[in-house]
Structure 1
Amino acid sequence: MLIDAHCHLDFPDFDADREAVIARARAEGVARFVVPATTRARWGEVLALGRRDDVDVCLGLHPYFMDEHAAGDVEALGQALGDHPEAVAVGECGIDARFTETLEAQWRLFDAQLRLARSRRLPVVIHCVRANDQVAKRLRQLDLPSAGLIHAFAGSPEQARRFLDLGFRVGLGGAVTFDRARRLRRAVESLPDDGYVLESDSPDMPLAGHRGERNEPARVAEVCRAVARLRGQTVGRVAEDSTATARRLFGLDGG
């Protein structure tokens, strides 16, 4: 069994065929899905998906959508986390340094969500683009009790080790399938067996050979095969390790 530790099944991209997408994933051995929220407007759709036995949800405010966030959203997030104890993490939150014009506001929003995670003893799901060192420094300062996931990790072995030393795990997705991702592939080779989870980030983060296509959770199986090749391990071993790590990280039951 595989767990897709990060997919946006609530997105409109899946409105026409969501059940078929989930069926295709199950046919590939992907039987559980962690769905993080991106904006307050989407919390309802995410929570609705969370009523399924095979879906676990996170609530947060994503840095990519800064123009969709409003005053009061952080307070509403705190209330929603209290009202919905089924949420397994705070997220997706974080820093996307490609957008320099909103970077200061991103840090304020990120810090506020990290404080919520600390107060509620929940893990965080972190979107971290071109900011691995800065984010690691901030996480070290806060010493979050439940750590969390560095989603779509694309850094070096040294950056991965810094996150692992803080108790975090890294998410491996479609990027590992690209030959040009040499630094990331070295990091994948260096990770301990309990240092990573597998994810699709669907509908985004397409794999090599699938550029321009909608990504789906079923492709986590292909990511698993790529990680197994890089690590010199069997597919079964990688599936077992990544699934066990996802369960521990998010406090999932054995279903």
Structure 2
Amino acid sequence: MLIDSHAHTTDAHFDADRQEVLNRAFSSGLKYILEVGCEPPLWDKVAELSKQEKIYSMFGLHPQDADKFNEELFNKLKSLLSDKKCVAVGEIGLDYHYEGYDKQLQKELFVKQINLALEINKPICVHCRDAYDDMVEIFKTFKQLPKGVIHCFSGSYEQAKVVVDMGFLIGIDGPCTYPKSNKLKRVIENVSLDKILVETDCPYLAPQLYRGTRNEPSYVVEVAKKIAEVKCVPFEDVCNITTNNTIKLYNLENS
């Protein structure tokens, strides 16, 4: 039994066969899917999808959309976060990968959404790309941080250790299966299994077996298999422990 702790099945890539994809995931043994709403145009679609059994939601404003922030959007976000099937604020964070984004605007929005998570007592799902140092510096400004996960972790083991010591979990995705992902494999090898979540981030980052095609929630099993291989532990242990980690972080059994 596994949980895809980070999926985007409301993405247009699934418009032709979304329900079939979801049915396939649950038929393959997934316990839950956590659907992420980080783009305002898809928020309502995510809320509607999460009405289905075994699907939970989270909502936030992605750093690449920081320039779209306004009070009207923020008020809608707060309303969505109050839904009983919504388990977290996310994905939120920093992304300096592309040119042309306002770093200061991203930082301000990130802080605002962390504060919102603290206010409503929900965990955060953090997106960080090419912005690790600034993310950590922001975390250090808080006397108290929400629980949370650094989603789709792509940093070094040393960086992973810092955020794990701050109380965060690490989200592992399809790239761990790629032949040249030695840095990520070192993270997996050295971070305790009780600090790891498994994700797909579908439709992106398909595992090696499906590389070049659309990713989907059922493929999260490939991530779990690779973690088991790298850590030299039984596949069943990876399933059980990461599932329990996700349930505990997001309080799923009581949502």
Report TM bin, short chain.
Answer: over 0.9
Residue 6 of structure 2: SS of its match in structure 1? coil
The 2-side partners of 1:122 and 1:254 are apart by: 13
The 2-side partners of 1:159 and 1:32 are apart by: 29
Structure 1: any 5+ residue segments left out of the alignment?
A: none
Residue 186 of structure 1: SS of its match in structure 2? helix
TM-score using structure 1 length? 0.93
Tell me the equivalent position of 2:208.
208
Q: Report the alpha carbon displacement of residue 191 of structure 1 after superposing the two structures with TM.
A: 1.0
The 2-side partners of 1:21 and 1:143 are apart by: 42
Residue deviations 1:11-42 (CA, integer Å, cap 9, x gap): 12112111211122223322310011112221
Quick check: 1:63 aligned with 2:63?
A: yes
The 2-side partners of 1:239 and 1:65 are apart by: 34
Q: Is the 8 A contact 1:121 1:145 kept in 2?
A: no
Tell me the equivalent position of 1:164.
164
Tell me the equivalent position of 1:99.
98
Tell me the equivalent position of 1:8.
8
How big is the alpha-carbon RMSD for the aligned residues of Structure 1 and Structure 2?
Answer: 1.7
The 2-side partners of 1:204 and 1:212 are apart by: 9
Tell me the equivalent position of 2:247.
247
Tell me the equivalent position of 1:109.
109
Paired letter, 2:5: A
Residue 194 of structure 1: SS of its match in structure 2? helix
1:251–1:207 Cα change, 3 Å: same
Q: Report the alpha carbon displacement of residue 71 of structure 1 after superposing the two structures with TM.
A: 1.8
Paired letter, 2:251: G
Query: In the comparison of the two structures, how many residue pairs are matched?
Result: 253
Q: Is the 8 A contact 1:228 1:235 kept in 2?
A: yes
Of the structure 1 ranges 177-186 and 240-249, higher mean CA displacement relative to structure 2 is found in 177-186
The 2-side partners of 1:22 and 1:189 are apart by: 31
1:3-82 matches, cutoff 5 A:
3-66=3-66, 69-72=68-71, 73-82=73-82
Of the structure 1 ranges 244-253 and 40-49, higher mean CA displacement relative to structure 2 is found in 40-49
Residue deviations 1:175-208 (CA, integer Å, cap 9, x gap): 1001211111101000112111000000011222
Paired letter, 2:79: Q
1:89-168 matches, cutoff 5 A:
89-102=88-101, 103-168=103-168
Residue 163 of structure 1: SS of its match in structure 2? helix
The 2-side partners of 1:119 and 1:50 are apart by: 23
Q: Report the alpha carbon displacement of residue 85 of structure 1 after superposing the two structures with TM.
A: 3.9
Residue 245 of structure 1: SS of its match in structure 2? helix
The 2-side partners of 1:193 and 1:223 are apart by: 13
The 1-side partners of 2:216 and 2:81 are apart by: 27
Residue identity over aligned pairs, in percent, reads 31
Structure 2: any 5+ residue segments left out of the alignment?
A: none
Q: Is the 8 A contact 2:139 2:145 kept in 1?
A: no
Of the structure 1 ranges 192-201 and 131-140, higher mean CA displacement relative to structure 2 is found in 131-140
Quick check: 1:235 aligned with 2:209?
A: no
The 2-side partners of 1:174 and 1:144 are apart by: 32
Residue deviations 1:91-121 (CA, integer Å, cap 9, x gap): 1111111134222221121111111011111
Residue 215 of structure 2: SS of its match in structure 1? coil
1:249–1:101 Cα change, 3 Å: same
Residue 200 of structure 1: SS of its match in structure 2? coil
Residue deviations 1:43-84 (CA, integer Å, cap 9, x gap): 1111111111210100111123345x24222233223324x2
Paired letter, 1:250: Y
Paired letter, 1:97: Y
The 1-side partners of 2:75 and 2:64 are apart by: 19
Q: Is the 8 A contact 1:63 1:93 kept in 2?
A: yes
Q: Is the 8 A contact 1:28 1:221 kept in 2?
A: no
